[in-house]
């Protein structure tokens, strides 16, 4: 695996490559990330990964400096997966001057759910992804479904800006007990880790009740928010949305079988976890 740290090096390394598959990451890699690399290898060649902790997507109460950085271990994992190039720029390389041009997702997608609780998050994500796409120029790029709203924001950005990059969605990778793999799981205490799979169980409960028509969507959401809160969680949202645009469904749409997804974000102790389940 070749490790490059500058845009010029990257473009030189990839000169003439027309089938590049790309996986952007912020490092601290786990099995979920590695599954993205394997999927990328089925959608292009060579596979390029990036590691860059993007300051633009951190809010004022989110500690950029404390984000785990495990570069040497990450490199070993990527090399074992057959990644061809790792692009690992520093901030001065990717942002040599203040990043005043930024990508603003539409408010009805970028400012709801995660965007509501983390203002500016999707502006930071969209901006860095567009810049990385400009550097790598991939034919395909892989993003995980665990970050469901992020996947939709990036996919819509590529479509509206006519970017020549296919966005490939990867299924969420879970531990044996159902907990979605996340770098944040390492912050959980032993007791919290034992409790954490309850988030998926709550999503399943919502899905079962929606399918059975057991109450309105709003009442189901509120019941489960109350239930998980009683277990010591602090939920930001547990919300049923239409898959096509993440807008709330009408009761008529639910009854007519509109494809839905239930999304959740909740804090367990000091750790904020997110998950989702398609209905």
Q: Which of 30, 33, 43, 116 is catalytic?
A: 33
Beta bridge partners of 169: 143
Q: Look up 30 and say whether it is catalytic.
A: no
Please give the helix or strand (H or E) that residue 264 lies within, else none: strand 260-268
CA distances from 99 to 54, 94, 123, 131 (A): 12, 9, 11, 10
Residue in 150, 152, 155 with CA at minimum distance from that of residue 167: 155
Token pair for 133: 């796409």
CA atoms within 13 A on the CB side of 255: 5
Kindly compute the dihedral angle of the four CA atoms of residues 117, 123, 129, 133, in this order, to the nearest 10 degrees. Answer: 160
Judge whether 231 and 198 are in contact, CB under 8 Å: yes
* CA angle, residues 150, 154, 155, in degrees to nearest 5: 115
Q: At what angle do helices 217-230 and 198-212 cross, to 10 degrees?
A: 160
Catalytically active residues, by annotation: 33
């Amino acid at each position: 695996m070749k490790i490059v740290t500058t845009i010029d090096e990257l473009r030189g390394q990839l000169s003439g490559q027309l089938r590049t598959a790309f996986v952007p990451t912020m490092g601290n890699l786990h099995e979920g990330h590695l599954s993205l690399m394997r999927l990328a290898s089925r959608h292009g060649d060579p596979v390029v990964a990036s590691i860059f902790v993007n300051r633009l997507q951190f809010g004022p109460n989110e500690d950029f400096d404390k984000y785990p950085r495990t570069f040497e271990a990450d490199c070993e994992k990527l090399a074992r997966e057959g990644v061809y190039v790792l692009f690992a720029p520093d901030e001065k390389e990717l942002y040599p001057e203040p990043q005043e041009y930024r990508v603003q997702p539409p408010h009805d997608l970028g400012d709801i759910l995660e965007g509501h609780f983390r203002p500016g998050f999707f502006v930071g994500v969209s901006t860095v992804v567009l810049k990385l796409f400009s550097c790598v120029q991939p034919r395909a790029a892989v993003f995980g479904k665990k970050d469901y709203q992020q996947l939709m924001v990036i996919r819509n950005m590529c479509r509206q800006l006519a970017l020549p990059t296919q966005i490939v969605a990867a299924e969420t990778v879970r531990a044996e007990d159902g907990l979605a793999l996340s770098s944040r799981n390492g912050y959980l205490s032993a007791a919290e880790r034992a409790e954490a799979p309850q988030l998926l169980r709550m999503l399943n409960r919502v899905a079962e009740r929606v399918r059975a028509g057991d109450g309105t969507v709003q009442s189901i959401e509120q019941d489960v928010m109350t239930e998980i809160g009683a277990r010591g969680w602090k939920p930001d949202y547990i919300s049923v949305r239409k898959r096509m645009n993440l807008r709330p469904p009408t009761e008529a749409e639910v009854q007519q079988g509109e494809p839905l997804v239930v999304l959740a974000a909740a804090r367990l102790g000091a750790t904020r976890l997110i998950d989702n389940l398609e209905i």
